[in-house]
Amino acid sequence: MRPRRAGELTQRGVGRSGDPGGRDTWAARLLAVAAVLYNGWLLEFVLPTGLDPRHSYVSELYAADQPLRGLFGGIECVCAALVVLGALLAYGPAAGGWSRAGWVALAGMGLSSLADVALPMRCAPSLEPGCEAVHPWHTATSALAHFFLFASMALLSRAAVVERPHRRLIRRWGPRVLALALPAAVCTVGPLFGRPGWHGVPQRVHLVLVGVWFALLAAESRRSAAAARASATAPAEIPAPVHTP
């Protein structure tokens, strides 16, 4: 067993504070909270939103003219900020190019979600017949958020296979979540083509799956932190002294 160099420990998550796995620990915490907040739309079942979950987009909850825009938009913003911070923290001790690209994509998803709230629908199409479902800027930011989301799933799932240490949870469940989340997202585009109705159901299924994805990332980040601490505390080999004549 060879002695560990300082650079190796830093790569595995030991920061200047000397806490091995500290970045991964905080990434796990932030992403776990984000997994819950991303499904804050569940509050619509106990609050008087006036929207029918079967036939409305979740983004209608924070449309510009909706009374609870502040609440649901605020939840979305906090969640997006946690995702960005969690991704940036996990990026530091990432093992290779695939994982680093995946964390960058996840941060892009969070930033796009922030833009999604900043550029909301002007009105709720499911409530107002004259309200267009396509709001150009909001539709664009939503498309970007989905692109970065699916990119993060694909890249981090690939990283879990080809990079070490292997992330077993993502390796097993990441492709499955992607395989379910992608068609669920596609099934929500009916109103964009003039065919509204029942799009709210697959969208909410999609949001639950995204929450599952965040939870997987949180669990793997926690495992990485534990592995970094175990590696840092393992006894290192002391190099033999050099004898000079």
Q: Where are the domains of the chain?
A: 20-233
Whether the CB-CB separation of 91 and 125 falls below 8 Å is answered with no
Tokens of 71: 């609440």
Asked whether the whole model's pTM tops 0.95, one would answer: no
Kindly state the average pLDDT of the residues 72-77: 98
- Which of 225, 172, 176, 245 lies closest to 20, judged by CA? 225
- Which of 73, 71, 68, 74 lies closest to 50, judged by CA? 68
Least confident of 85-89, 137-141, 193-197: 193-197
Burial 116-153 (b: 16+ CB within 10 A, else e): bbebbbebbbbbeeebebebeebbebbebbbebbbbbb
**Contact partners, residue 231, CB within 8 Å, separation at least 6:** 4, 9, 12, 20
Count other Cβ atoms within 10 Å, centred on residue 112.
20
Whether the CB-CB separation of 21 and 229 falls below 8 Å is answered with yes
Apex 123 CA angle, 213 and 66, nearest 5 = 75
pLDDT digits (tens, 9 = 90+) for 125-145: 999 988 988 999 999 999 999
pLDDT digits (tens, 9 = 90+) for 218-239: 999 999 888 877 777 765 544 5
- As a whole number of angstroms, the distance between CA 20 and CA 11 comes to 10
Higher pLDDT, residue 182 or 241: 182
Does the structure show a pLDDT above 90 at 160? yes
Whether the CB-CB separation of 88 and 232 falls below 8 Å is answered with no
Higher pLDDT, residue 59 or 7: 59
Does the structure show a pLDDT above 70 at 243? no
Whether the CB-CB separation of 224 and 21 falls below 8 Å is answered with yes
Average pLDDT, the chain: 88
Higher pLDDT, residue 121 or 93: 121
